Amino acid sequence: MILTGATRIYVAGAAGMLGEAVYRHFAAKYRVRATDINARCEWLSVVDVANYADLYEDVSNFHADVIINLAAQTDLEYCETNPDQAWRDNALGAENAALIAEKLSIPIVYVSTAGIFDGSKLEYNDYDEPNPLTVYARSKLHGERFTERTASRYFVLRAGWMMGGGPDLDKKFVNKLYKQILSGNTLLHAVTDKLGTPTYTHNFAQGMERVLMTDYYGVYNQVCEGRASRFEVAEYFVACLGLTDRIRVEPVTSDYFASEYFAARPASEQLTNFKLKQRGLSVMRHWKDCLDEYAAIFREGLRRGYEAKT
Position 96 in a domain: yes
Give the largest CA-CA distance in the chain.
60
d(CA 10, CA 59): 7
d(CA 64, CA 190): 43
CATH number where 143 lies:
3.40.50.720
d(CA 272, CA 279): 14
Alpha carbon 39 to its chain's center: 19
Q: What is the pLDDT of residue 309?
A: 52
Q: What is the pLDDT of residue 305?
A: 65
Position 258 in a domain: no
d(CA 242, CA 234): 13
Q: What is the dihedral of CA 286, 288, 291, 296, to 10 degrees?
A: -120
What's the number of domains the chain is made of?
Answer: 1
Position 110 in a domain: yes
Position 293 in a domain: no
Low-confidence ranges of the chain (pLDDT < 70): 305-310
Position 76 in a domain: yes
Angle at 280 (CA atoms; ends 126, 205), nearest 5 degrees: 75
pTM of the model: 0.95
Position 238 in a domain: no
Position 250 in a domain: no
Are the beta carbons of 161 and 172 closer than 8 angstroms? yes
What residues make up the domain containing 158? 8-167+199-226+270-285
Grouping H, G, I as helix, E, B as strand and the rest as coil, residue 206 is helix
How distant, in Å, are the alpha carbons of 56, 106, 130, 148, 164 from that of 102? 11, 6, 25, 11, 31
Position 69 in a domain: yes
Q: What is the pLDDT of residue 300?
A: 86
d(CA 258, CA 11): 35
Helices (H), 104-214: 135-150, 166-169, 173-182, 201-212
